[in-house]
Amino acid sequence: MKQRALNQCMKVSGDPYGYLKEWKGNNNKKIISCFAMNIPEEIIHAAGLLPVIAWRSNESVSIGHSHVASFNCGLTRSFIDDVLKEKLNFLDGVVINRMCLQAQGIPFILEQNTKWANIIYMSLPALYGSDCIRDFFKSELDRLIIAMEKCSGNKITTGKIVNSIEIYNHNRKLLSDIYEIRRKNIGIISAREMLSIVHSSMIMPKEENNKLLLEVIEELNLKVAEGNHKSGIPVVIYGSLCQTPHPELLDLIENTGMVVVDDDIFIGSRYFVNSLDISDDPIESMANRYLSHIPPCPTKGDYKSNWSTYISDIMNKNKAKAVITLMIRYCPPHMCAYPDDQINFEKKGIPEIMLEVEHEIISLEQVRTRLQSFVETIGGI
């Protein structure tokens, strides 16, 4: 089966360091890391810079231990570890959203340990509802625009932002289309492959990624015609905020008799779920997207949304039989939200199992036992 484009996605996702170093060498443009969720990338893009979403490193934390507590999440620990090991020297700066207590500590470590001229700390509001929150959000965007103009030397006009929104919306649409193909053809693509597709979008320039995704769609349509897709108990995975779950964990899920049909993870549908309105006031459009209650997020003080209801709606849409919670170890927002979600799943009779996602993989065989037992329980053995 032809899968050049899918292989390219997996290559980029597997080695973002190599891809970005090469891209920078060929394009001589600045690269700005976005740490991690909800950074308005369109503004960075409109400045002629390449925004890339911060990723969890591909190796165990070593010297990072001296700067970040071992009870921090994998993303914060490994990002700082990468910085200290000088693996991220190709970056020209970082935009950090104050989304949790662990992220709040990152800028101070970066200021002391990098030569980056652009370390932008954003206080995107953790609440919804009032006009003053909306005004505050928009003022933060204005501050980002000024910072990115200074970083790039380019003026960010309304027209440039609208153009960036169109490119980003197209990317969201293409990712959404790929999810729709999976929904209609369960098992046509593995969870690992889907992860690499979304991850490639977070790393590559959107213009190039859009071309690649169109090719991925072509390949998938050919595969649909070929038939012979993986089967299993259809499940939805959710959680894994801010960072990649281990692909090995996704493989394990699909090798124990389940097949992932949809997700609500950050490097998944959470990244592209809402498009922006195209209007004369793009800042207002960004506010509309950010202040929407979809997808529900435990990093926000959102008392109107119910995450478990949102997940059960996704399950119904996909005729899924069970849900798998991917809990990032030491992610306090998700850890606080989980007990209520777990109770709600139980009340609704939804089989659910929680897997902890750690940066350093240990004991995969025990996880296999838990997953296989879960399948046996659902299957009535």
Partner 1 sequence: MLYFAGIDIGSLCTKSLILNEDDAIIGTSIKRSGAAYRGAGEDALNAALKDANLKSEDLNYIISTGYGRSRIPIADEQITEITCHARGSSFIFPEARAVIDIGGQDSKVIEINSKGRVLKFVMNDKCAAGTGRFLEVMAGSLDIDLEQMSELAKQSKKEVQISSMCTVFAESEVISLFAGGTEKAEIASGIYRAIARRVTGLASHIVSGKKVTMTGGVAKSKGMVWALSKKLKTELLVADDPQIIGALGAALIAKTKFNNL
326 near partner 1, judged by CB under 8 A: no
Closest approach, Cβ 309 to partner 1, in A, equals 22
Least separation in angstroms between residue 56's CB and partner 1 is: 20
- Which one of the spans 173-181, 184-192, 296-304, 360-368 is the region binding partner 1 (CB under 8 A)? 360-368
Stretch touching partner 1 by CB under 8 A, among 178-186, 234-242, 315-323, 366-374: 366-374
Site mask for partner 1 (CB under 8 A), range 88-127, x = bound:
----------------------------------------
The answer to whether residue 377 forms part of the interface with partner 1 (CB under 8 A) is yes
| 365 near partner 1 (CB under 8 A) | yes
Q: How many residues does the chain have?
A: 381
Of 235, 229, 217, which is closest to residue 314 (Cα–Cα)? 235
70 binds partner 1 (CB under 8 A): no
Strand partners of residue 33: 52, 94
DSSP structural state of residue 63? G
Chain centroid to Cα 75, Å, comes to: 12
Helix (H, G, I), strand (E, B) or coil at 145: helix
Q: Looking at 107-115, 178-186, 282-290, 359-367, which segment touches partner 1 (CB under 8 A)?
A: 359-367
CA Rg value for the chain: 20
363 binds partner 1 (CB under 8 A): yes
Instruction: Note whether 369 binds partner 1 by CB under 8 A.
Output: yes
Q: How many residues bind partner 1 (CB under 8 A)?
A: 13
Tell me which stretch binds partner 1 (CB under 8 A): 69-77, 174-182, 188-196, 358-366: 358-366
The reply to whether omega before 245 is within 30° of 0 (cis) is no
Q: Tokens 């001296």 — which residue?
A: 66
Instruction: Identify residues 335-354 at the interface with partner 1 (CB under 8 A).
Output: none
The span of 48-56, 164-172, 285-293, 364-372 binding partner 1 (CB under 8 A) equals 364-372
Contacts of the segment 376-379: beta carbons below 8 A, 24+ positions apart: 377/351, 378/233, 378/321, 378/322, 378/351, 379/233, 379/257
| 3-state SS, residue 69 | coil
Rounded to the nearest 5°, which phi and psi values hold at 205?
Answer: -60, 140
Closest distance to partner 1 from the beta carbon of 287 (Å): 43
CB of 338 to partner 1, least distance (A): 14
How many DSSP H helices and E strands does the chain contain?
16, 8
- Maximal CA-CA distance, the chain: 65
Does residue 376 bind partner 1 (CB under 8 A)? Answer: yes
Q: Is 381 in the site for partner 1 (CB under 8 A)?
A: yes
Residue type, 312: S
- Residues contacting residue 296 through CB under 8 Å, at least 6 positions apart: 302, 305, 306, 307, 310
**Residue 9 corresponds to which amino acid?**
C
Residue with smaller CB distance to partner 1, 225 or 381: 381
Nearer to partner 1, 25 or 380 (CB): 380
The contact set with partner 1 (CB under 8 A) reads 362-363, 365-367, 369-370, 372-373, 376-377, 380-381
